[in-house]
Amino acid sequence: MNFNFTQEQELLRSATRNFVDKEIMPYIEEWDREGQSDPAIYSKLAELGLMGVCIPEQYGGSGMDYNSLAIVCEELERGDTTFRTAVSVHIGLNSMTLLQWGTEEQKQKYLTPQASGEKIGAFGLTEPGAGSDVAAMQTTAKKDGDHYILNGQKTWISLCDVADHFLVFAYTGEQSEKHKAISAFIVERTWEGFSSKAIKGKHGIRAGNTGELFFEDVKVPKENLLGEEGEGFKIAMAALDNGRFTVAAGAVGQIMACLEASVSYCHERKTFGKEIGRHQLVQQMIAKMEAGYQMSRLLVYRAGELKNEGKRNTRETSLAKWQACDFANQAADDAFQIHGAYGYSDQYPVSRFLRNSKAPVIYEGTREIHTIMQAEYVLGYKEDKPLSKTLPAWQEETIASLTNK
Ligand SMILES: Cc1cc2nc3c(=O)[nH]c(=O)nc-3n(C[C@H](O)[C@H](O)[C@H](O)COP(=O)(O)OP(=O)(O)OC[C@H]3O[C@@H](n4cnc5c(N)ncnc54)[C@H](O)[C@@H]3O)c2cc1C
């Protein structure tokens, strides 16, 4: 077991932190109020190599390990959940899924421009009537010669108006066959019959773009089927192993931001003749944040290490995602409480933290779904069977070649 970060990982953390301090922090309150952000952020992240941080160099990425992705997510969410969410869908849910399941042609055509940040990827699983219950989806893809004809609707899709490529899940078989009849497709925004629309009035992640996708007789070439027909549900779940990892890492960054804001306010604000940090009940909230921060980090980096070794990590990632997001939601609530009435205004960032901390408890498996998963693993009702394609283990020599440059 090794609990130390490498020199490259430390450099990556400080580069991401500097980026957040310079490019996000000064503007985020305004973006959050206006419900938008500067789209140039993504090209700036790409310039730093962060849009493909853990994608191998041969596919246009930076070739760093999976825990380096966690570091980027932590630091981005310290700035705002919006930008970590974008990286979660672009890298975790989309690019890593292409890396795991794509053919060489698909990797060249879609993964490579995504890893360099030239194109943005997103993930369309949820529908108006199908969230946790994925098999309740209504979207269909009917085979027609060299194409599939895609019809249906997705909702709550992050980067719906921003992304160039979408992974879309649809029934290619009978709905009565449930999970076994779902397939995955790579869909381009520019294709006829595709449209998207943002959801307005969101509770949090207001600087980010989330909304609906519509498919009206979209012609998807058969080469854009990802994996085999009927493998879509497995692909979606494998994608979530990576997406959830990034959400968990982001939650660590959210707790970090709550701690920073709270510690500063504890020294600034005085009641009954002393700093509020001297009151034991305030200390209890700080202590809980610290405990949540340290425990979540360990869970995240353990899951990342399993990914680096090429080992199945569904169980560990689910635990990390569930616990880290719950801790972050609690930390944001406590940070708000520590700020008293001032937490209620946008003079301090904590009300934004509290609003932002709610979505991660819902997306990529709700708190309840992860609770059930963990209980079922322990009770022996659930076990993970080998998949036909695995996420490539991280090769140490990749980093060696990077440092020799
Ligand atoms: C900001 C944001 C961004 C998102 N981005 C994306 C995206 O990019 N791509 C995408 O595909 N989706 C995305 N989602 C959708 C998200 O993944 C779903 O909201 C999530 O899977 C839950 O589905 P649902 O909202 O339909 O809730 P439901 O599944 O309807 O659940 C409602 C409630 O019932 C509980 N529940 C459901 N089933 C059970 C059960 N078996 N046992 C106990 N309790 C249960 C749930 O935990 C929840 O509390 C996003 C959501 C948000 C809020």
Q: How far is Cα 69 from Cα 289, in angstroms, rounded to an integer? A: 23
Stretch 113-127: mean pLDDT, rounded?
98
Give residue-wise pLDDT tens across range 272-313. Answer: 999 999 999 999 999 999 999 999 999 999 999 999 999 999
pLDDT confidence of residue 405:
42
pLDDT surpasses 80 at 399:
no
Q: How far is Cα 325 from Cα 251, in angstroms, rounded to an integer? A: 5
Give residue-wise pLDDT tens across range 325-337. Answer: 999 999 999 999 9
Q: What residue's CA is closest to ligand 1, atom 45?
A: 368
Asked if the domains 7-120 and 240-397 are classified in one and the same CATH topology, the answer is no
Q: What residue's CA is closest to ligand 1, atom 30?
A: 131
Stretch 78-107: mean pLDDT, rounded?
98
Domain 122-232 in this protein, CATH class:
mainly beta
The residue among 82, 70, 77, 182 whose CA lies nearest residue 127 is 182
Stretch 10-18: mean pLDDT, rounded?
98
| Ligand 1 binding site (Cβ under 6 Å of any ligand atom) | 89, 123-126, 131-133, 156-158, 205, 210, 359, 362-364, 366, 368-369, 372
The residue among 400, 403, 397, 398 whose CA lies nearest residue 59 is 398
pLDDT surpasses 50 at 76:
yes
**Ligand 1 mean position to 363 CA, how many Å?**
5
Stretch 55-66: mean pLDDT, rounded?
97
Q: How far is Cα 175 from Cα 336, in angstroms, rounded to an integer? A: 46
pLDDT confidence of residue 1:
78
Stretch 182-190: mean pLDDT, rounded?
98
* Mean of per-residue pLDDT scores for the chain: 96
- 53 near 64, Cβ under 8 Å? yes
pLDDT band, residue 402 (cuts 50/70/90): very low
**Ligand 1 mean position to 244 CA, how many Å?**
13
Q: What residue's CA is closest to ligand 1, atom 22?
A: 131
Phi and psi at 144, nearest 5°, equal: -145, 90
Phi and psi at 153, nearest 5°, equal: -150, 140
Q: How far is Cα 314 from Cα 299, in angstroms, rounded to an integer? A: 12
Q: How far is Cα 238 from Cα 253, in angstroms, rounded to an integer? A: 24
Q: What residue's CA is closest to ligand 1, atom 12?
A: 126
pLDDT confidence of residue 235:
98
For a mutational test of ligand 1's pocket, the pick from 156, 161, 247, i.e. the residue with the most ligand atoms closer than 8 A to its C-beta, is 156
- 351 near 345, Cβ under 8 Å? yes
pLDDT confidence of residue 396:
66
Residue 368 CA: nearest ligand 1 atom is: 47
**Ligand 1 mean position to 42 CA, how many Å?**
26
Tell me what percent of the residues of the chain surpass a pLDDT of 70: 98
**Residue 337 to residues 262, 293, 366, Cα–Cα distance (Å):** 9, 18, 25
pLDDT band, residue 3 (cuts 50/70/90): confident
With vertex at residue 11, the alpha carbon angle to CA 10 and CA 15, rounded to the nearest 5 degrees, is 120
- Residue 192 amino acid letter: E
pLDDT band, residue 404 (cuts 50/70/90): very low
- 189 near 197, Cβ under 8 Å? no
**Ligand 1 mean position to 362 CA, how many Å?**
5
Q: What residue's CA is closest to ligand 1, atom 40?
A: 369
- Residue 356 amino acid letter: N
pLDDT confidence of residue 397:
52
Stretch 262-269: mean pLDDT, rounded?
98
**Ligand 1 mean position to 131 CA, how many Å?**
5
The residue among 212, 12, 241, 222 whose CA lies nearest residue 128 is 212
Dihedral Cα 244, 258, 30, 213, nearest 10 deg? 20
Q: What residue's CA is closest to ligand 1, atom 38?
A: 132
CATH 1.20.140.10 fits 240-397, yes or no: yes
Domain 7-120 in this protein, CATH class:
mainly alpha
Residue 365 CA: nearest ligand 1 atom is: 21
For a mutational test of ligand 1's pocket, the pick from 247, 355, 366, i.e. the residue with the most ligand atoms closer than 8 A to its C-beta, is 366
Q: How far is Cα 176 from Cα 178, in angstroms, rounded to an integer? A: 5
Q: Residues with catalytic annotation?
A: 364
Q: How far is Cα 308 from Cα 304, in angstroms, rounded to an integer? A: 6
All structural domains of the chain with their residue ranges: 7-120, 122-232, 240-397
- 364 near 247, Cβ under 8 Å? yes
Q: List CB contacts of 395: < 8 A, sequence separation 6 or more.
A: none
**What's this model's pTM, rounded to 2 decimal places?**
0.97
**Ligand 1 mean position to 112 CA, how many Å?**
30
